[in-house]
Chain A
Amino acid sequence: MIHSLFLINASGDIFLEKHWKSVVSRSVCDYFFEAQERASEAENVPPVIPTPHHYLLSVYRHKIFFVAVIQSEVPPLFVIEFLHRVVDTFQDYFGVCSEVMIKDNVVVVYEVLEEMLDNGFPLATESNILKELIKPPTILRTVVNTITGSTNVGDQLPTGQLSVVPWRRTGVKYTNNEAYFDVIEEIDAIIDKSGSTITAEIQGVIDACVKLTGMPDLTLSFMNPRLLDDVSFHPCVRFKRWESERILSFIPPDGNFRLLSYHVSAQNLVAIPVYVKHNISFRDSSSLGRFEITVGPKQTMGKTVEGVMVTSQMPKGVLNMTLTPSQGTHIFDPVTKLLSWDVGKINPQKLPSLKGSMTLQAGTSKPDENPTINLQFKIQQLAISGLKVNRLDMYGEKYKPFKGIKYMTKAGKFQVRT
């Protein structure tokens, strides 16, 4: 299926290539570069590019293009999903997935890629199994390896691949047994000029960090499982049990993983925790415009809104902005025309605001659209949909684990049209 993989950085250098079948010359990437040139931004490069003999499927993450070369018909999502899994694995291994990191660890990268695909068909994509095969580099291990000459390659046979729970490595041992679950909800919303909601959806995930000895069997139940409109599971979750009892029953992988993603549909009424008051105006005659925005809390269930960040792509005609924030810092980049304002926490008594004027390019007429405002924020200890975990039980092992559940609400794609 997947013939070859090329990694291309922002400046168009191929800095890594790997072939699973016969070698495909790197000149095939010229077609990709062509497409890249045609697209104004990296984001607009089409993910599927046909060439006379091959097809190039690419994903763009961390400023790197991962380009897979395909020779014949294959579901494109198969390849794309796999490439994303590769990026996730690198991130898992090295903490960050950057060109420098990949170049520094080129041997580990190569070994991992070798295990992930056999003849272009995915073989081991579970990070638990991969980590058993090839240990991720840590500073300590690198030091030890240089002194003792030992290797990153695991010397035990990865029995996990053959077991009934292929996602969990065997022989896990911890002195502190802990299981943490983060319920994170993101609000995607479009708010119109007048402040009314055009569309709002909640997209939630439960990320887990489970460090438990042996083969624990966990069940997680919710107070209000009916809220979850559409869910997708990690393969460890027993589907039948969810269908019949609305309980999550699973043997977890070791370490960090995403247990569940869910969706609370647009039909449900979504509480919007913040509002933006704005007054942005350009005048036809003068080369000055007025800019004024205020951010305030709306339905926050008594919690503080923090980490507020406002960004806005200003029209091309704007030359510069002179603004004064009541709190936080702001930057306007005159080249990309991107205004960002790092607000921080919202104090309901004294609402943060950003006021000032814009200088417009002389001679050009006023832009016909006001910029949209993108908002980021965080609210700790709150799941905006009202989802609550009822209890977490463990079977199969005799020790008492330490359990923790955290809630958080974030802004996803939260836009205010002005």
Chain B
Amino acid sequence: VSHSLFKSSVDVSGLAETELIFPVAALIVLCFFYFSLFLMDALLCFYHRNEDLKQMLESSKDSAKLDAMKRIVGMIAKGKNASELFPAVVKNVASKNIEIKKLVYVYLMRYAEEQQDLALLSISTFQRALKDPNQLIRASALRVLSSIRVPIIVPIMMLAIKEASSDLSPYVRKNAAHAIQKLYSLDPEQKEMLIEVIEKLLKDRSTLVAGSVVMAFEEVCPDRIDLIHKNYRKLCNLLVDVEEWGQVVIIHMLTRYARTQFVSPWKDDEVVEEYSENNFYESDEEQKEKDRKVKNIYTMDPDHRLLLRNTKPLLQSRNAAVVMAVAQLYWHLAPKSEASIVSKSLVRLLHSNREVQYIVLQNIATMSIQRKGMFEPYLKSFYVRSTDPTMIKTLKLEILTNLANEANISTLLREFQTYVKSQDKQFAAATIQAIGRCATNITEVTDTCLNGLVCLLSNRDEIVVAESVVVIKKLLQTQPAHHGEIIKHMAKLLDNITVPVARASILWLIGEYCERVPKIAPDVLRKTAKSFTTEDDLVKLQILNLGAKLYLTNSKQTKLLTQYVLNLGKYDQSYDIRDRTRFIRQLIVPNEKSGALSKYAKKIFLAQKPAPLLESPFKDRDHFQLGTLSHTLNSRATGYLELSNWPEVAPDPSVRNVDVAESTKEWTGILGMTKKEKPTEKFYSESEEEEDESTNTSSSSRCLESNLHLHCLENCIFRTKTHELLHRMSGKGLAAHYHFSRQPGIFGDHMVSVQVTVTNTTDQKIENIHIKEKKLPPGMRVHEFNPIECLEPAESITVSMGIDFCDSTQMASFQLCTKDDHFNVNIQPPVGELLLPVTMSEKDFKKEQGMLTGMNETSATIAVAPQNSTRLVIIERVVKAANLGVVPSGQDNIHRFAAKTVHSGSLMLVTVELKESSTAQLVINTEKTVIGSVLLRELKPVLSQG
């Protein structure tokens, strides 16, 4: 976008050159200054390397400059330092070549922070572009300006953001929202002022702005939940049409919001469920009605329901982040019975890239611990393929383990058997852990699992055996019945196993249950005492333990052996082992010093130990909001916003009501924009339908009331007059009407859009209705509607066309043709339709008005009927007569309206000042004096009529 700045300098090229003399001169001086500094620099040789680039940048040819800039960008991309070229580069900021300009911007954003003084020289270019009539140029100027991280321009940025936030173009407002975050990170002290801007932009009804402003809200003032209340319903309704990245941000914010505002839907779930089963065939409405009658049954706040309903279609998004966002919203907000609708979509995401799979599987893992039922039907989707990366395999395994129950365990164990044999040994080890967990969780299969694991002990792979030993050890603790045989088997394995953890586990087991294997245990101690010095520390500690336990239970056979081991331990290199040796010796070998403690040695060493719980590593992750970075890392990331618990009692729900007075105020304030967004909104969400639905189902009268008012307003303000284009008599049964839809820019910037409704009043179908033979005054252009192939009898169809009237009230004449006939028709626009509303503040209005005085001002005194003197009526009548935007006014008796002409974009400022004795002063300020006076004439009778 930023290249569009170029256009501005073309338009004002004459102006720009004269204005540029100063900065250029200053630059040259600075250049010399820097140059002399560099001369003194010892790194002269290094500097020489870029000399050719500097020369190229200073050449008069654009191609050389472009080449140089491309090489410089190449340097930046590679991470090489190009900061010394700053003076040479910044000179080209006003270049007329778009690509040079763009690349200079890239350079500026990268180095401005390091060369703040020099960067200031570029500011004036952007300031000028901020006032450009073209919205894209304004937007890109704001974008670059706010990206230059130079603290000294903070006031300029603040001003620019404020202005842009009330710009007519939603695109500029979107960029203003982005700029808020940039300014905030540059200077957090601006917070209060920025919050004001955020508050204003949150009221915006444009889908373009919504995502960006919520992002700014999250970054600057996420705790100001009160700013959301009034905009909550609007955000819910706009959501479907917001661009995908904005959707993610809004959904996350609304999740947090909802958790503070609504009561938990989880408490009485069962009751509600039973209820819905009984009423399976009844509609939702009836159901709700009944629900309400039964006291103490939870009813969901209509706003809560609205959020759930409006996010559901987004599960069908192609963007994985959006799907995940909706999934977490349902997880955290929906009644438990409804949350399961997200599982299908999440499973779909598993066919995506490895990284997406990784994140989604993690979240499913957390979900599946708490609510198994959600993913049980998709069990097979989590089966592991040998080509999956290890991290995906282990996550899938985790989920499979979580989903295991009595019904599916046999299939799962068969599947696990394949995994154990996997060539990926890390994964095989994880599978053994998983089998262990299944065995403890499902008592029916504990024996089967244990037997399976014992078989694995004869596996050739050391890691597999080691892991099995560790798991068996844990299982045996929970299953005291089995010991004898398995322990004997494991003792035999001790000779072959070398993995320390496994050896240690076996030794511990033998020690713990030494009384059950009285013949083997001392022998094991004998063997290990021999190898003591070569063992790993972990194993040494267990040898000591084994010795101690045997000493206590079977001291006759093992006394000497234990003492030998203790002696070895006494001189070991590791202090842990020396410590332990001392401790054990004191405890078990009675001497005069040891006192009472050694009496209890047996109790201490051979106490009943609680069995370890085999738990999922995802068990404690659920306190993080799903789908967040913190959840993925299982630790609080910087800037993580806690999801609050449901409130016991819901805060006042009426805060979300947009009351009538306010809505009209807000509404009229952005009148112009609303019109503009209309097509966008309708396009996908078919808002009419949506809104009706929401009022019905939300079934709260207050909400309905406010909506109703909005509808009334809409109708009375926006239904512009319909004019006849072709009477049915003269059109041989073909009738046509037109009205000005007041939608800007469908066919191009300068076109006024006209909606033509053609009706077939004959009893035969009319074919091929199209436009021909346009007779237009010079400059005028018409964008035809697409031919209507066929119009059935009594049917009518509405098509839209665009006409560029060149800001004149001249007629546009053309022929309306059918297959066999053609009729001459013409459209003459009322002057009020040649305008597009502009939003501006009262201050700006006065400023602009100040510049359009004298010749540019026309005024008249008019009579005002008494019933017309309220603000609402005046606004309604004036806006109906001409397409004007309402300017908020501080005084009750003055009403201001602003617009610009469609073709040339000249401002048209209208002021109505109520005077004594039902008169009023009507003032119009504009450069286009002709249109101004015509408009004055047309507005005169508007307020006097009853």
**Is B436's beta carbon under 8 Å from chain A?**
no
**Is A81's beta carbon under 8 Å from chain B?**
yes
A interface, how many residues as a size bin? Answer: 35 or more
Contact: B355 with A59, CB < 8 Å? yes
**Is A240's beta carbon under 8 Å from chain B?**
yes
Q: Please report the C-alpha to C-alpha distance between residue A201 and residue B344 in the assembled complex, in whole angstroms.
A: 13
Residues of A within 8 A of B106 (CB): 110-111, 114
Contact: A18 with B385, CB < 8 Å? no
**Chain B 323-337, CB within 8 Å of chain A: the 1/0 string?**
111000000000000
Instruction: Tell me the B114-141 residues at the A interface (CB within 8 Å).
Output: 134-136
Q: Please report the C-alpha to C-alpha distance between residue A225 and residue B517 in the assembled complex, in whole angstroms.
A: 68
**Is A350's beta carbon under 8 Å from chain B?**
no
Residues of A within 8 A of B709 (CB): none
> Which stretch (B387-395, B402-410, B931-939) binds chain A?
B387-395
Q: Give the most central of A19, A119, A238, A372: most B CB within 10 Å.
A: A119
**Is A261's beta carbon under 8 Å from chain B?**
yes
> Which stretch (B556-564, B637-645, B854-862, B890-898) binds chain A?
B637-645
Contact: A199 with B359, CB < 8 Å? no
**Is A190's beta carbon under 8 Å from chain B?**
yes
**Is A92's beta carbon under 8 Å from chain B?**
no
Q: Please report the C-alpha to C-alpha distance between residue A123 and residue B212 in the assembled complex, in whole angstroms.
A: 9
Contact: A75 with B79, CB < 8 Å? no
Quick one: given A23-B110, A73-B637, A119-B147, are A44 and B389 in contact (CB under 8 Å)?
yes
Residues of A within 8 A of B872 (CB): none
How many B residues touch A, CB cutoff 8 Å?
113
**Is A17's beta carbon under 8 Å from chain B?**
yes
Instruction: Tell me the A382-412 residues at the B interface (CB within 8 Å).
Output: 396-398, 412
Residues of B within 8 A of A203 (CB): 351
Q: Please report the C-alpha to C-alpha distance between residue A41 and residue B313 in the assembled complex, in whole angstroms.
A: 38
Contact: A43 with B640, CB < 8 Å? no
Nearest-CB distance from A42 to chain B (Å)? Answer: 9
Contact: A153 with B99, CB < 8 Å? yes
Contact: B381 with A266, CB < 8 Å? yes
Contact: A368 with B390, CB < 8 Å? no
**Is A37's beta carbon under 8 Å from chain B?**
no
**Is A46's beta carbon under 8 Å from chain B?**
yes
**Is A33's beta carbon under 8 Å from chain B?**
no
Partner of A149, one of B62, B252, B745: B62
Contact: A78 with B240, CB < 8 Å? no
Contact: B79 with A106, CB < 8 Å? no
Residue of B nearest to A188 (CB): B351
Partner of A111, one of B102, B212, B347, B391: B102
Residues of A within 8 A of B389 (CB): 41, 43-44
Nearest-CB distance from A208 to chain B (Å)? Answer: 13
**Is A80's beta carbon under 8 Å from chain B?**
yes
Contact: A71 with B136, CB < 8 Å? no
Residues of A within 8 A of B1 (CB): 115, 124, 133, 158, 161
Residues of B within 8 A of A268 (CB): none
Nearest-CB distance from A156 to chain B (Å)? Answer: 9
**Is B348's beta carbon under 8 Å from chain A?**
yes
Partner of B63, one of A14, A59, A149, A232: A149
Q: Please report the C-alpha to C-alpha distance between residue A369 and residue B428 in the assembled complex, in whole angstroms.
A: 11
**Is A374's beta carbon under 8 Å from chain B?**
yes
Q: Give the most central of A26, A46, A78: most B CB within 10 Å.
A: A78
**Is B635's beta carbon under 8 Å from chain A?**
yes
Residues of A within 8 A of B215 (CB): 1, 121
**Chain A 114-135, CB within 8 Å of chain B: the 1/0 string?**
1100110111110000000100
Nearest-CB distance from A336 to chain B (Å)? Answer: 12
> Which stretch (A47-55, A273-281, A340-348) binds chain B?
A47-55
Residue of A nearest to B689 (CB): A240
**Is B261's beta carbon under 8 Å from chain A?**
no
Contact: B344 with A76, CB < 8 Å? no
Partner of B73, one of A43, A107, A238, A368: A107
**Is B185's beta carbon under 8 Å from chain A?**
yes
Residues of A within 8 A of B460 (CB): 365, 368
Contact: A21 with B185, CB < 8 Å? yes
Residue of B nearest to A166 (CB): B243
Quick one: given A75-B321, A258-B318, A398-B787, are A15 and B78 in contact (CB under 8 Å)?
yes
Nearest-CB distance from A134 to chain B (Å)? Answer: 9
Quick one: given A60-B354, A77-B324, A398-B786, are A118 and B635 in contact (CB under 8 Å)?
no
Instruction: Tell me the A350-379 residues at the B interface (CB within 8 Å).
Output: 365, 367-369, 371-372, 374
Residues of B within 8 A of A301 (CB): none
**Chain A 58-94, CB within 8 Å of chain B: the 1/0 string?**
1111000000001111111110111110000000000
Instruction: Tell me the A315-329 residues at the B interface (CB within 8 Å).
Output: 315-316
Q: Please report the C-alpha to C-alpha distance between residue A243 and residue B314 in the assembled complex, in whole angstroms.
A: 13
Q: Please report the C-alpha to C-alpha distance between residue A19 and residue B147 in the assembled complex, in whole angstroms.
A: 11
Nearest-CB distance from A162 to chain B (Å)? Answer: 5
- What DSSP secondary structure best describes chain B's contact surface? helix
Residues of B within 8 A of A47 (CB): 354-355, 358-359
**Is A212's beta carbon under 8 Å from chain B?**
no
**Is A298's beta carbon under 8 Å from chain B?**
no
Instruction: Tell me the B414-433 residues at the A interface (CB within 8 Å).
Output: 415, 418, 421-423
Contact: B629 with A73, CB < 8 Å? yes
Partner of B380, one of A22, A58, A164, A199: A199
Contact: A76 with B147, CB < 8 Å? no
Q: Please report the C-alpha to C-alpha distance between residue A75 and residue B422 in the assembled complex, in whole angstroms.
A: 33
A-B contact count (CB 8 A): 260
Quick one: given A121-B215, A313-B386, are A77 and B356 in contact (CB under 8 Å)?
yes
Q: Please report the C-alpha to C-alpha distance between residue A137 and residue B380 in the assembled complex, in whole angstroms.
A: 45
**Is A417's beta carbon under 8 Å from chain B?**
yes
Quick one: given A76-B629, A190-B385, A263-B348, are A121 and B391 in contact (CB under 8 Å)?
no
Q: Please report the C-alpha to C-alpha distance between residue A343 and residue B359 in the assembled complex, in whole angstroms.
A: 37
Contact: A157 with B79, CB < 8 Å? no
Contact: A59 with B786, CB < 8 Å? no
**Is B205's beta carbon under 8 Å from chain A?**
no
Residues of B within 8 A of A396 (CB): 786
Q: Please report the C-alpha to C-alpha distance between residue A8 and residue B116 in the assembled complex, in whole angstroms.
A: 31
Partner of A162, one of B135, B627, B640: B135
Residue of B nearest to A414 (CB): B385
Quick one: given A75-B325, A121-B215, are A417 and B418 in contact (CB under 8 Å)?
yes
Residues of A within 8 A of B638 (CB): 71-73
**Is A141's beta carbon under 8 Å from chain B?**
no
Contact: A77 with B359, CB < 8 Å? yes
Contact: B353 with A84, CB < 8 Å? yes
Residues of A within 8 A of B787 (CB): 398
B residues near A (Cβ < 8 Å) are 1-4, 7, 62-63, 66, 70, 73-74, 76-79, 97-99, 102-103, 105-106, 110, 113, 134-136, 143, 146-147, 149, 169-171, 175, 178-179, 181-182, 185, 208, 212, 215, 240, 243-245, 248, 252, 313, 316-321, 323-325, 344-345, 347-348, 351, 353-356, 358-360, 377-378, 380-381, 383, 385-387, 389-391, 415, 418, 421-423, 459-461, 627-630, 632-633, 635, 637-641, 679-680, 683-686, 689, 745-746, 786-787
A-B pairs with beta carbons under 8 Å apart, 24 shown: A17-B79, A48-B359, A48-B633, A71-B639, A72-B638, A73-B637, A73-B639, A75-B628, A77-B360, A107-B70, A107-B103, A110-B73, A118-B178, A122-B245, A124-B1, A125-B245, A154-B3, A155-B98, A158-B136, A230-B347, A232-B323, A232-B348, A233-B317, A240-B685
User: Which 8 A-B pairs give the minimum distances between C-beta atoms?
Assistant: A72-B639, A369-B421, A151-B99, A199-B380, A43-B389, A47-B355, A77-B321, A122-B245
8 further A-B contacts with Cβ under 8 Å, apart from A77-B321, A124-B1, are A41-B389, A82-B321, A155-B3, A162-B745, A198-B383, A232-B348, A239-B240, A413-B385
A residues near B (Cβ < 8 Å) are 1, 14-19, 21-23, 26, 41, 43-44, 46-48, 50, 55, 58-61, 70-78, 80-84, 106-107, 109-111, 114-115, 118-119, 121-125, 133, 149, 151-155, 157-158, 161-162, 164-166, 188, 190, 198-199, 201, 203, 229-235, 238-240, 243, 258, 261, 263, 266-267, 313, 315-316, 365, 367-369, 371-372, 374, 396-398, 412-413, 415, 417
